[in-house]
Amino acid sequence: MGKTQKLVQWNPHNIKEKLLEKYPPKVARKRAKQIMINEALENTTPEIVANVRTIPGIITMRGCTYAGCKGVIMGPTSDIVNLVHGPIGCSFYAWLTRRNQTDGINDTDANYIPYCMSTDMQDSDIIFGGEKKLAAAVQEAYDLFHPKAIAIFATCPVGLIGDDIHQVARKMKEKFGDCNVFAFSCEGYKGVSQSAGHHIANNQVFTHVVGKSEEEKTEKFKINLLGEYNIGGDGFEIDRIFHKCGITNISTFSGNSTYDKFASANQADLSCVMCHRSINYVADMLETKYGIPWIKVNFIGAEATAKSLRKIAQYFGDQELIDQVEKVIAEEMPGVESALKEVFPRTKGKTAMIFVGGSRAHHYQELFNEMGMKTISAGYEFGHRDDYEGREVIPSLKVDADSRNIEEIKVEADPLLYKPRKTPEEIAALEKDGLEFKSYTGLNPDMESNTIVVDDLNQYEAEKLVELMKPDLFCAGIKEKYSIQKLGVPMKQLHSYDSGGPYAGFKGAINFYAEIDRLVNSRIWGYMKAPWQEKPELSATYVWE
Ligand code: CFM
């Protein structure tokens, strides 16, 4: 598929039809509800079906609930021992596959990220039960490291045989006295995707860790950054900017996080939500229990970064902070602008597709817009309807058997620690000045009309989309990388960033411009034909002939 054959004209209705053409009628009917031609309406966008089971037989891009809990939420925490209760494969294949990074700055100087810890269940444990083995493993981890906390993760067989991991955790916690032990019922099958695992992880961190720190934080302008995972060092770049502005980041959930940072999250005066999908409910719980309001931010894209910083400054309303934020933006933007000027003539008008787990399929459109590129198709592996259509739809979301499986924890105002950060009048005044609280409008209104939004895209549809629409760039993960490249289209991993990054903040934007310019303007993709495709008459003879 050389660049010369490129078809720019396409009709989204035809594309949708083509995507569904090969399916049996029942499958086609189901998938049709997850493939949407965007109407880009500000207030109401058409309804999409999301967060439902993948149809058996389809090769989904999704991961499992355990992956969302152990890998995504708890993975980037450096000083909590992560112990997997299950067969060794579950631990081994979740070991260092996400690019979790830490700068190692924590009170205990501990970094357990490089370790792979598992109870290594065997047949006999499945038959006779694995609780004793789990208790012994927790003891061993305690003796080896004396950590502040040990987190236990359940894999599928643990749920099937009914090991009571929470009971083991409670017993060991009592026994140690100086180590917080808690467990996650995050069996891979628990939900339809990773998203369920995020919820299970966040609920337990909120219940067992947040609010447990006695050390008082006295710094100015204290925030939590929720839903930033420090992939490729994104969190380091965001923290650099916060530091320059004089904003104190008490706790990131969970990039470069530590036990104590989680434990102090209740002391922040504002929660900033980056990845809405993985954590929006924690922002709500922090508000209900401790009185911390929340706003949506996005540090992907230089303009988005500047906008987010201004929102934080507006919230605190301190003139010195407002001036400092403006000073930082003025210092950082010239570098961004000159990098953009360099690539813009080459990237302008190019097209991209983005299919990642959740929020990034939305956030990265900001960076592409800055480069003059258009996102012609995008979607989430496991986003919910509110991530597409905005939070207004939350009250109307259907609670099905799968979502009922995930525990909703009851949160009330803490009798001692609840303290509203702003009066209702102050909040109303800020809202009047344009600061929106608890608000997220989702991906659909930000995409142009007639673009194609696909939920839970699968391998077949990915290849079909590329074949039909011929984007200049496809963004997804490692499972998609090589099949897309074989179609002659450059592919950028937006989960792991390949080995690049950071792409967040101002310096990240500069990195991204250069990387995307390199990919979409490389001529190598035009030479994808194998010799036998061009000269099919190629023949060979045996040497003895
Ligand atoms: Fe949020 Fe993420 Fe994402 Fe996500 Fe993920 Fe990730 Fe992702 Mo991979 S928390 S939803 S579960 S932004 S690991 S850092 S890149 S699928 S789009």
Lowest mean pLDDT: which of 98-112, 195-209, 314-328, 366-380? 98-112
Alpha carbon distance 265, 244 (integer Å):
21
b/e string for 83-102 if b means 16 or more Cβ within 10 A? Answer: bbbbbeebbeebbeebbbbb
Prediction pTM value: 0.95
Q: How far is the CA of 278 from the centre of ligand 1 (A)?
A: 8
Number of helices and strands (H, E) in the chain? 22, 14
User: How do 452-454 and 35-37 pair as beta strands?
Assistant: antiparallel
Give 5's pLDDT tier (boundaries 50, 70, 90): very low
> What is the rounded average pLDDT of the residues 316-336?
98
As a whole number, the mean pLDDT across the chain is 95
Q: How confident is the model at residue 538 (pLDDT cuts 50, 70, 90)?
A: low
User: Which pLDDT value is given to residue 109?
Assistant: 80
Task: Tell me the mean pLDDT in the region 402-411.
Answer: 90
Separation of CA 275 and ligand 1 centre (Å): 8
Q: What percent of the chain has pLDDT over 70?
A: 98
More confident residue, 534 or 223: 223
Which residue ranges have their beta carbon within 6 Å of ligand 1?
A: 68, 72, 98, 194, 227, 229, 231, 275, 277-278, 356-360, 495
Give the model confidence (pLDDT) of 87-140 as tens digits.
999 999 999 899 999 997 776 789 999 999 999 999 999 999 999 999 999 999
The C-alpha atoms of residue 26 and residue 5 are separated, in whole angstroms, by 34
Amino acid of residue 187: E
Cβ-contact 380, 361 below 8 angstroms: yes
Tokens 């980037």 belong to residue: 76
Phi, psi of 244 (to 5 degrees): -60, -35
* Among protein residues, the one whose CA lies closest to atom 16 of ligand 1: 357
Q: What positions carry a catalytic annotation?
A: 64, 67, 98, 198
Residue-level pLDDT at 7: 44
Q: Report whether pLDDT(320) > 90.
A: yes
Q: Does pLDDT of 24 surpass 70?
A: yes
Taking 60 as the threshold, does the pLDDT of residue 4 lie above it?
Answer: no
Say how far apart CA 530 and CA 526 lie, in whole Å. 11
User: How sure is the predictor about 375, in pLDDT bands with cuts at 50, 70 and 90?
Assistant: very high
User: pLDDT digit string (tens) for 457-494?
Assistant: 999 999 999 999 999 999 999 999 999 999 999 999 99
Q: What is the mean pLDDT of residues 48-74?
A: 97
User: What are the start-end ranges of the H helices in 274-433?
Assistant: 276-290, 302-316, 319-347, 360-370, 385-389, 401-404, 424-432
Task: Specify the residue with its C-alpha closest to ligand 1, atom 1.
Answer: 275
Above 80 in pLDDT, residue 501?
yes
